[in-house]
Structure 1
């Protein structure tokens, strides 16, 4: 199996990217990265593509809402454009896969809700194909709350989605959802094309379980990859078709560029990326 390429989710440096897009991308390139995962790109695809080209970077994957009226983030909601608008912007940026990053917790609590999510993403895959793109889904921890006959909502979702639908597993959030992360990576097989490489102290309780206290990203105790509780090395070795190892900090512990550099060093020096 070919090693995945290193990348970084630009949500990690949302403030820095908004303040200085070219400078931020130049800093990522200087670290040694050649790929990023774009976020909130639909309103400015031409600008982002020009900045990527100038820095020698590419964004093969990107996050955009495909299944919700609004994209929730711990720091505010982003309105959802029509899928065709998303895919046209993604093609302009140069992506190959558009990944929905969040579906509200309550939609994962019933079998009908999970079936609806899967059906919508299957339809989105049809539309994306007309733009030469594929679609995917990125988990948090709400997908692991409900259980249907011994099958988690996430497992049910995977079973109901078309093989064309790619999976991006956030290793930190899967562990927060109580998963044996390396075992889940193995079980997903070649459907798993990307992982979010994220570490830290895993919350004691699933923050998206019914009745849980609300939280923001600033409450997370995140640390450099390889220094927290998530078995990142074992999980990365367990993959059979991972093409993108995407660094991400929801709450960077220090200077975000130094933190990204530490994450890239973990991937590079551990032999986890090409």
Structure 2
């Protein structure tokens, strides 16, 4: 596919640390003990608000393979090898179809390519368009079979077609369908996740479609993959979402926003999104997996150099 939209149709915050003024010393021992106790309680509360770095929680750096969509179909084995050489440990798939597999490779054959390069695939984006229209779970079962064969943990809904999300009640119906699909995933030992863009944040009165999805899906069944670029693009702060729905965002898409043209991506660390601030609050999110993604490259930028640059920034700055 030549662009993300056609493919998909087929298919901020302040650090919460608290600075403490030195306790005012008095000659009264009791007052001193009271001050110490209060300071300890405040420090404990601050610790709850200011989780430690994501470093201890995130061991692998993944890439959404849509980043390499111009190259991947032409040379699956070669591209996967170079992704591994760029320092990635995990890949998130896209574009699977029951009749053609992963870029004309069966799930078993694709798993062998990953194994040969010491890569895992913990998540895959799968086309849920027809399921969201008719509720037929047959295709969901096919995705589960493929995901299990590849070794994935998450079957991820990447997009909602415009015709199934025209009003707020549509999101309630979608949430119910997600619960049904998620139960199938759980029964098979997998999990279901939902990946956002920016349309989910459109206001319907005092709420949004995204809020409905978060509230109407079973937290024990449905997780969320926060595309941080699209959250920022929608005018929100990612950590505000983390605070409001702690532990729901088990995966992230980490892609940066071009400073001159916000509709474009750039290498992580080179754009306008303050990722250091976001990563400092990672534990609020519940994040377990992160995937670098870039939907476009600058004309003069080699894609492999680009993904290596983003990976190195994540590894050496954000997770250091």
Instruction: Give the TM-score band, short-chain normalised.
Output: 0.7 to 0.9
Question: Matched residue of 1:225: which SS?
Answer: coil
- Structure-2 change in CA distance of 1:166 and 1:197 (3 Å): same
In structure 1, stretches of 5+ residues that fail to align are: 72-79, 206-219
Q: Report the equivalent of 2:130.
A: 69
- Structure-2 change in CA distance of 1:137 and 1:59 (3 Å): same
Instruction: Select the structure that is richer in strand.
Output: 1
Distance 2:202 2:264 in 1: 22
1:125-171: per-residue Cα shift (whole Å, max 9, x none)? 111122211100000011011334x2222112101101121100101
Tell me the C-alpha RMSD between the 2 structures.
Answer: 2.3
Looking at CA atoms only, which structure, 1 or 2, has the larger radius of gyration? 2
Q: Does the Cα contact within 8 Å between 1:186 and 1:239 map onto a contact in 2?
A: no
In structure 2, stretches of 5+ residues that fail to align are: 1-53
Task: Report whether the alignment pairs 1:40 with 2:89.
Answer: no
1:229, CA displacement in angstroms? 1.8
Q: Report the equivalent of 1:74.
A: none
TM-score normalised according to structure 1 size: 0.84
Distance 1:202 1:183 in 2: 22
Distance 2:318 2:254 in 1: 14
Distance 2:288 2:191 in 1: 14
Within 5 Å, give how 1:233-252 maps onto structure 2: 233-240=276-283, 241-252=286-297
1:70, CA displacement in angstroms? 8.5
1:204, CA displacement in angstroms? 8.4
* Equivalent pairs, count: 249
Q: Report the equivalent of 1:216.
A: none
- Structure-2 change in CA distance of 1:116 and 1:204 (3 Å): farther
Q: Report the equivalent of 2:264.
A: 221
1:191-246: per-residue Cα shift (whole Å, max 9, x none)? 110110011237989xxxxxxxxxxxxxx421111221222222222222111111
1:120, CA displacement in angstroms? 0.6
Within 5 Å, give how 1:127-146 maps onto structure 2: 127-146=184-203
- Structure-2 change in CA distance of 1:83 and 1:257 (3 Å): same
Task: Report whether the alignment pairs 1:178 with 2:235.
Answer: yes
Q: Report the equivalent of 1:259.
A: 306
Distance 2:123 2:290 in 1: 11
Distance 2:73 2:111 in 1: 15
1:101, CA displacement in angstroms? 0.5
Q: Report the equivalent of 2:209.
A: 153
- Structure-2 change in CA distance of 1:70 and 1:125 (3 Å): closer
Tell me whether 127-136 or 178-187 shows the greater mean CA deviation.
178-187
TM-score normalised according to structure 2 size: 0.72
Within 5 Å, give how 1:104-119 maps onto structure 2: 104-119=161-176
